[in-house]
Amino acid sequence: MGVLNMLVGMSTIYIAITYLDWSNVWANVAGYAAGLCVSYALNSKLTFKYRGSWQRALPRFLVVFLVAYSANLVVVLSLVHYTTMSDFLAHWLGIPVYTCLSYLGSRYFAFSGKAPGESAAQQEAK
């Protein structure tokens, strides 16, 4: 799942930087926006096998995305600004930060499967 999402996002970033001459910020926004839909669809159903309502999961997923994406953007822009590495390499090095935060947030918050007010015993009984 993650590989497909990464390919969609990084292909978009590469095209935006190389052929459209977009800034790192706008290329990053475009790449992660493209991957956002793929990520939600694949992670909710396949990775985490979420059975709850999308009305509960989608807002939580968007919060997780914004936190992970913000951390990614800080890493990318810091590497571009404070080092001599290529812009595209900086985007690649931002991926692990995004991936770790996104996975943990999705696993324990967005797609936790626990309904509001539900106890751990009720969750285990399902």
- Sign, CA dihedral 70-76-80-84, equals positive
**What is the phi/psi pair of residue 71, to 5°?**
-65, -40
Give the tens place of pLDDT for each residue, 22-79.
999 999 999 989 988 888 988 888 888 898 888 999 999 999 999 999 999 999 999 9
> Is this structure's pTM higher than 0.75?
yes
Give the tens place of pLDDT for each residue, 110-119.
998 755 555 5
Domain locations along the chain: 2-114
| 117 backbone φψ class: left, alpha, beta (φ>0; ψ -120 to 50) | left
First to last CA, the chain: 26
